[in-house]
Each structure stands twice: as C-alpha cells, then as structure tokens.
Chains A and B, each alone.
Chain A
C-alpha cells in the first residue's frame, strides 16, 4: 500500500479526477466533500499529505488550513491547495492560511504527481 493522502473537494468530478491521478501515481487516497467530513477522517488517521480545495461549502478551505496548522497533530502534514482561485492574491492568501503548495485548476495531470512528490520530500 502507498502513502495515504486526503483529498478535500466539493466537486464530485474533480474529486474523482484527483483520486484517479493519485492512485495511478501509487497513493492510497481518501476523499472528503467538505471540511466536516475531512475532520471525521482526520480524527481516525493522520494522512501523509492533504490536497485541499479552498472553496468548500460551510467551513472553507482557508479556515480548515488554519485549523490544521494550529493543531499539533496535523501541523507537520503538508498541505497542497488545489483550487480554481487562480490569482496571485489567492495564492498569497492560501499560503498565509498555512498551505505549503498551491496548484491552480485546471491541474496539469502529468505534473501533479511529481509536484506532490517534491512537497513530500521537502517535508520529511
């Protein structure tokens, strides 16, 4: 079994796409549709990395990122924002909220696995 990553995205198609890409790259993927579902999964297990959509219903991705980084248990888990917020200002906001990397949608399916690998390397 590969390393476990959690993907949080409210769009089912995008969730499916990320799961496909990451599985093809050898990761064990769990998915959540919103911050609450993510919280439940996180309580059970600490993943190796989290890919996070920023626009979520209810608690948004920025808030979730801040909570995770404020939490001893999750502080070390690398956070990658994967978002349709594509501007420079959005990237800055995401990084301020605690995201370690930022990928604008539409994602490059060929580059994403490598990018995640580099992020994981950096955080070791």
Chain B
C-alpha cells in the first residue's frame, strides 16, 4: 500500500469495527502515531473519539451513497486538540469480504479558527479593542480565535500571527504541561472565575520573556460553539509596588497587619509572625479576630464597622487600653495605630501593633521608683529639719547656759568674793546640773547628726596609747574619787591606727566613764586594745562591777534606756551615751558589743577598722 503515501492528505483504511487496516505517512504526521502502532488498533482510540456510540464510518455505511463528510475534534496523544475534516467513503470488500471504509482526514483547525475568528471579529472586534485589558477568545481546542490590540501588544504578536495560535504558546513552559487539564476542567464546568487568587501567574511573550499576570476567565456561548474569553492584565507594575510595599512592611519595627473591610487578614509582615506566634499562612485569609482576646472580639467587630464608616489615621497610644492575643492564647498589652489604605481591591486597613508590656513594666518601675524617691526625699528632708532644729536648739540653749555655768563658776571659785562652804556646795550642785545639761545637749546634737548621716569623720594617723592615756587622765578626778585603778593594755602592733581621734575619744570616754560610775569603790578597770581579724582592732573596757543580765543587754545601746534610773541619777548619765557610742562606731565602719553577767563585771567593746580612710561619713 506504499502508493497511499503519495497522497497529500492523511489516508486511513478501517474495518467496519473501526480497526485500522492502512495508515499513510500523512496520517502518522496528523495523528502522531507511527503506522506500526496504528495498524489493527481502533481508530476511535487513536484520535480520542468515544469508544462506543456512532462513528463516522457507521454513519457513512448508513448513508445512501456510502459517503460522509464530518468535522471532528481530534485529541491525539500528547498533541493539542485539532479540528479535523473527515471524508469517509465505504469501499466494498473484495469478493464476499466485509466492507471497508476509506477515510481522508484534513487538519482544518486553522481554517475553522479563521472562520470563527471572522465571525467573532465582525461582532466583537470594536468592543474588544476599546478594552484596556488584553482580551483573548479561545475555543475548546485551545486556539486563539480573537485577540484585541492590547493582547497583541502585550504578548508581542501581530494580528495575523495570534489568530489560531495555541493558547499554550502564551503560557510559560514551566506550567504548560498542566494547562490542558485546566482548560478541560473549565469547559466541563464553565463559569466566570478569577485565576490566580493568591497564586502567581505568568504570561509568556513572543520574545520568550515572562510577565506576572492576573487572568480572569468567562464562558462565551457563540454561533461557533462554547468559547472562553480571557482578560489578561500585566501586573508587573503592581507587583513592583507591592514588593516595595512589602519591603516597607518588613522594615516597619511593629507588627503590621492589613485587613480588608470584612475583617480578613490580607497581609502581614514577619514581625507579626514573631509577635503573635503564627506562621504567615496561618493568618492570611483568616479573620483578624484571631489576634484579639476572645472577650474583646464582639467589641472589635463593632469598632471595625464604625472605623470603616469614618476611617481616619489613628496614631499609636491614643489612650485606649488594648490587648492582643498570641497563638498560644496568652495576651499582651498592645498599642495599635490604624490607617486606611485605599487600593484597587477596595479599602483596607493597616494596623501597626506594638507589644508594650515591657514599656508598661518600666513605667510601673519608674512610678514605684518615683514613689520611693519621694518617700526618701521626704524622710531626708524631715531628718534635715530635725537636725536643723536640734542644732538651733543646741545653740539657743548654750547661750543662757553659758552665763549660768560661767557666773556659777566665778562665784564658786571665790573670784567674786568669799563664799562659805554651804554656798560653795550648792554652787557645785548648780554647776554639776548645768554641765549635765550641756552634756545632754552635746550628745543629742551628735546623735541627731549621726542619724541624719551628717557626721563627718576626720581620719588621721594617731597613737592609740596616747589617746587612751589622755582619756584616762581626763577621767582621773572621777576615778580617783572612787578609788579605782585603771590599767591600760595596748597590743604593740596597734601603736598606730588611722581613725578620727575626736570620735574615738568620745567612744572611749563613754565606755570608761560608765565603767567608773558603775564599778564599786576599790574596783578594777582595764582599757584594752587587741587585734581583730582581718584589719580591725577591738577597743574594750572591762570592769569588775555589778554586771548586766543578758536579757537587759539589748536595751543598753538604745537612746534613753537606762537600766537603773536611780543609779543614773546618782551618776549623772544622760541615757544617750551608749546609743551615741553605737552610732559613732557604726559610722566609723565598726560595731559595738558587750560581754557581761550579773556579779561578774562587764566588758564593753568596739570593733573598729584599723584604717578608716576612704570611708564616707555615714
């Protein structure tokens, strides 16, 4: 049957069952199946016709002249669909053999396209060319029947070139494989649809370049059968704007959530993912209520409505107490600013959300600190007032005391004239009382200074032994009257210390004068200085007096606490001496203490740094 190959058309010979008996070279080209594979196979199968039902040849057999001419859509394997013109003629069988059918097939796809295009063009051309978008009309075979000027410009084809072009030619190679399935699905269930909602679509230009596209499809019924109209929009510019917008969003320090009028999340930045703990995919398309504490959602919906009715940019922190909700359900205080965004998709609202927990915490701390500082300031002020008051009192008291003590002394000493023994004794009592008063004033003044932290230390290198002897000598009149022996024991290592001699003298004076007062006549008192680790020394005054019960000891170093009021009167203590001593020692960085038991004497001590330089007065 080699002569069949000489024909310019595709020629096929089939049996009454439609099995291929002959298949020329043109048929191979048209239907995409080599002759070796075609022979013996059902023709319907090879050209994608339904396996059962009437076939062109059975129709031809039924025709009076045994001929039939018909247009069919041929969907051969791995090929775009074609519109093929089939001429079928029944050929009687050889002898008694069954009839056979000679089929002459011609590809009329382009021809039909042009015809349809012509029909469509006369009807729609003017309309289409006026549209700003690229518009294409294609048939079920996926051939472009009509493309408006904008489509030609967009894809880079001339009017003649684009008509009849396979739609696949406008689809980037990467997705071309899936395209026929999409098309088949569309024709099975035609309806208007926007393609690429949320997906990136691209168009392929003639020069091979691609562009991001938005495509919407709608079915079109026409004289020439069901068609599809596609509007294609080049969204390069918009994508660029969006990319810039996204960059802007990402650059924002706050979580940015863009919401549409229905409250659906349209766009978020990565700060939003971090702040709320959701991944972007979990948020896009969801209600913004997801980010709002449950208790506040209802209020939010109402608020959103009123906002849409009157959208104004509302800056951060306009005094509203707002909260937001993370994916894990936890909530955080938030500051939210809103601004309307008018876009092609309608009005959106952009919300910038900032977690202000840290700021609130700091504000709380600051408030607390301010309250504390204010309290401290007031306390300091009070303390200062008290010190000033005491200083003034001291001054005011000294002035009259000066005349009392002075004149009493002059008379007592017989400087003004002779005094008899009784007068002298009474003047002595006046002097003792007045001096007690002076001591009280001095102690009070010192105590108030220490308490106000206004004591000033004047450290210097001093000889401890000399200082101790000086105090002992000053108190000798008192100790001699009571017949007391005072021993001094100073560790040779402590020849020199750095201290405030005035304060040290005061401390020792208080301890020693107490010991003298409270030790029975002919008693024994020792002043001792020993080393104390690490860089301290212990100055102690030991007596063999009446001693002090343990339970009474804590009261000793407190102001105006005297254990035996009678003894105090007898001995002229102020009740401030030990309290002042403790404060002075502490101001010098040391501590005071007492070891005593009733009937076994007492040992008062102060542990002091051997060098108080560098210490601020406290």
Contacts and interface: CB of A to CB of B under 8 A. Distances in A.
A124 B398 CA distance: 32
A107 B413 contact: no
B405 A106 contact: yes
Given A88-B502, A106-B438, A17 B398 contact: no
A84 B413 contact: no
B404 A106 contact: yes
Contacts of B407: 13, 17, 20
B399 interface: yes
A11 interface: yes
A20 B445 CA distance: 30
Contact of B403 (A17, A86, A88, A104): A17
A43 B365 CA distance: 66
A40 interface: no
Nearest to B442: A86
A104 B416 CA distance: 23
B92 interface: no
A110 B401 CA distance: 16
A86 B458 contact: no
A123 interface: no
A84 B395 contact: yes
B616 to A, nearest CB: 15
Contacts of A16: 403
Interface string B365-409: 000000000000000000000000001001110111111111101
B456 interface: yes
A101 B456 CA distance: 21
B415 A24 contact: yes
A84 to B, nearest CB: 4
B434 interface: yes
A86 B448 CA distance: 14
Interface string B96-131: 000000000000000000000000000000000000
Nearest to A20: B410
Contacts of A87: 391, 445, 449
Interface in A73-124: 84-89, 104-110
B404 A55 contact: no
Contacts of A105: 398-399, 401-402
B178 to A, nearest CB: 96
A17 B403 CA distance: 7
A24 B395 CA distance: 27
Contacts of B395: 55, 84-86
Nearest to A16: B403
B5 to A, nearest CB: 130
B460 to A, nearest CB: 13
Contacts of B442: 86
Contacts of A14: 399, 402-403, 406
Contacts of B456: 88-89
A41 interface: no
A103 B452 CA distance: 25
Contacts of B406: 14, 17, 21, 106-107, 109
A21 B402 CA distance: 13
Most buried by A among B401, B406, B407, B438: B406
Interface string B434-448: 100010001001000
Interface residues of A, number: 22
B403 A13 contact: yes
A23 B398 CA distance: 23
Is the contact region of chain A dominated by helix, strand, or loop, or is it mixed?
loop
A17 B398 CA distance: 14
B479 to A, nearest CB: 21
Interface string B280-314: 00000000000000000000000000000000000
Interface residues of B, number: 27
Interface in A14-32: 14, 16-17, 20-21, 24
A20 B442 CA distance: 26
Given A17-B406, A86-B445, A106 B401 contact: yes
A84 B398 contact: yes
B502 A17 contact: no
Contacts of A84: 394-396, 398-399, 402
A116 to B, nearest CB: 15
B393 to A, nearest CB: 11
Nearest to A13: B403
Given A89-B456, A109-B410, A17 B402 contact: yes
Which of B399, B404, B409 neighbours the largest number of chain A CB atoms within 10 Å of its CB?
B399
Interface in B493-507: 502
B413 A110 contact: yes
Contacts of B391: 87
A109 B404 CA distance: 11
A90 B403 CA distance: 21
Contacts of A17: 402-403, 406-407, 410
Contact of A11 (B399, B409, B410, B434): B399
B571 to A, nearest CB: 21
B413 A109 contact: yes
B401 to A, nearest CB: 5
A70 to B, nearest CB: 27
Interface string B407-430: 101100101100000000000000
A27 B442 CA distance: 31
Contacts of A88: 456, 458, 502
Contacts of A13: 400, 402-403, 407
A106 B409 CA distance: 11
A58 to B, nearest CB: 17
Contacts of A86: 394-395, 398, 442, 445
Nearest to A24: B415
Given A13-B403, A86-B445, A105-B402, 18 more contacts: A13-B407, A14-B399, A14-B402, A17-B403, A17-B410, A21-B406, A55-B395, A84-B395, A88-B458, A104-B398, A106-B398, A106-B404, A106-B405, A107-B405, A109-B405, A109-B406, A110-B409, A110-B413
Top 10 A-B residue pairs of the complex, sorted by shortest distance between their CB atoms: A84-B398, A13-B403, A105-B402, A106-B405, A106-B402, A17-B406, A109-B409, A84-B395, A105-B398, A106-B401
24 contacts: A11-B402, A11-B403, A13-B403, A14-B399, A16-B403, A20-B415, A84-B395, A84-B399, A84-B402, A86-B398, A86-B445, A88-B458, A89-B456, A104-B398, A105-B399, A105-B401, A106-B404, A106-B405, A106-B406, A107-B405, A108-B409, A109-B405, A109-B409, A110-B413
